[in-house]
Every structure is written in structure tokens, then in C-alpha cells.
Structure 1
Amino acid sequence: MSTLRHLVFFEFKAETDELAIQEVCDAFGALPGNISEIQAYEFGLNNSPEGLAGGFTHCFQLTFRSEADRDAYLVHPEHKAFQRIADPRVKQVMVFDYWTEQKSKG
């Protein structure tokens, strides 16, 4: 079964300290408990040795069952409140959504 992945990448402003970054990460991590349309959540820090992250350091992955669920999340009051926390601290955001495709090995 295909699922909709919503990837969000952050590059924080140089003046954003570790405490403020943690507040953003904690606020993002609280969204799945407050927005029922989110089916799964993952978070991680870039650790690629390739040097191709373009300044992005943090990645958040949300999983949705449908585009309607994703669209409901985008306008949800909890998501809007999160954006008010993140926006002043984030230099750049990249969002990438895709439907998963399953391919077998071999």
C-alpha cells in the first residue's frame, strides 16, 4: 500500500542557539499527538559525509494516508502555532512530498 510522505528540512539561522533549536524540534515532535491525520513521524539530524545538504541540518518526516489528510494538517491550528515558533528561527525550509513506491530486490 502506498503512503504519502511529507519531508521537511530546516536550516536554522546562525544566531539560533541550541535551546531554541530544541524548542522547535520539540514543538514539531508534539504535532503527531495533536493532529490525528499524522500516521507516523520520524526526525533526524543530517550526518551525510558527502557535504551536499546545502545547509539543511534537520529532517522531519510525516506519513499520511491521503492528500486530504496532508492538506488538513497544513491548515490545522496546531501546525499554524508550530510555524509561529519555527519561522523566526529558521533560515530556510524545504518541503518534499511523495507517494511511496514499493520495488522488490532482484
Structure 2
Amino acid sequence: MCVSVCVSHGICRSLSLCVYIYSNTHSGGGLRWQMAEFTHLVVVKFKEEVVVEDIIKGLEELVSQVDIVKSFVWGKDIESMEMLRQGFTHAFMMTFGSKDDFTAFQTHPNHMQFSATFSAAIEKIVLLDFPVVAFKTPQ
């Protein structure tokens, strides 16, 4: 395993400093690396009466106001069979520069305020918070 520092690699999407830890994989001899990024993934089933577009608009406003959120993407499931989906319909993913940035986001006043609205709209939720490990990156 080796450590490399990248200043302007395509995956960084900016000239910010990223740290990669490279290691050989056991299958196919490819490389994978852990980036200095941290991801917050939320998968939800909204309550039936919720206007989902309003919640999404609120999320978009939140991430626009908080600079430590590096990226925000979301989507609505349209392909999964209901038995596999288990009622979950939407996924939201935020990327942060580090776990410390994510921790700061959790206590940010704008996040704390919006969390009450978001929580009230949720019937079921799954949260995953993890450091990013990349194997195949977008070109």
C-alpha cells in the first residue's frame, strides 16, 4: 500500500487537496483507494401526505447555504421491484471533504432547523455515513 497526494485529479472536481491510499485488490489486479472524502447517504420512505417536492426544495436550499457540503445528489427509485424496495422511494447523498466537515454539518444551525421538518416527513429511513473508497471513478 502507498499514500499519494493529488492536487488536481479529475475525481476531486476542483483544485482542492485529496489524499488517496492505494492498494492492490485480490481480483483483477486493479487499484482501489480511500479518498479524504466522507459521504452521508439517506434512503427514505416519505409519509403519504408529504409534498416531496417541498422537502427536496428545502434540502437544496440547505446545501446551498452550507459551504462544507461539497456535493449533493438525489434520486427517486423508478426501477426496483416493490418487494426489494421495501417502501423506500428516495435516496439523498451528500459528500464532505472529511469526517470532521460532516460532524460540523450535523451541528450547523441550518441543518438542525431543517432536520425537524425532514424528520416529520419520514415514515422509514436508513442512514449510512462512510469514508469514500473508490475502485472505478467517473472519467
TM tier, shorter chain? Answer: 0.7 to 0.9
2:112 aligned with 1:80: yes
> Larger relative contact order (C-alpha < 8 A, sep ≥ 6)?
1
1:22-67 superposed Cα distances (whole Å, 9 cap, x missing partner): 1111101112211111001101101233431221111111001111
How high is the TM-score relative to the length of structure 2? Answer: 0.66
1:48 to 79, 98, 120: 79
1:39-97 superposed Cα distances (whole Å, 9 cap, x missing partner): 01101101233431221111111001111100111111111111122222211221111
Q: Is the 8 A contact 2:75 2:91 kept in 1?
A: yes
Greater Cα offset, 67-76 or 95-104: 95-104
Residue 27 of structure 2 is matched in structure 1 by none
2:46 aligned with 1:15: no
Query: How many residue pairs end up in the alignment?
Result: 101
2:60 to 5, 29, 46: 29
Sequence identity (%): 24
SS across alignment from 1:101: strand
* Mapped partners of 1:36, 1:44: distance in 2: 22
* Mapped partners of 1:57, 1:27: distance in 2: 18
Q: Is the 8 A contact 2:41 2:129 kept in 1?
A: yes
* Mapped partners of 2:132, 2:111: distance in 1: 23
Structure 2: runs of 5 or more not aligned: 1-19, 21-34
* Mapped partners of 2:104, 2:127: distance in 1: 16
Residue 23 of structure 2 is matched in structure 1 by none
How high is the TM-score relative to the length of structure 1? Answer: 0.84
Counterpart amino acid of residue 90 in structure 2: H
Residue 5 of structure 1 is matched in structure 2 by 39
Residue 135 of structure 2 is matched in structure 1 by 103
SS across alignment from 2:120: coil
Structure 1: runs of 5 or more not aligned: none
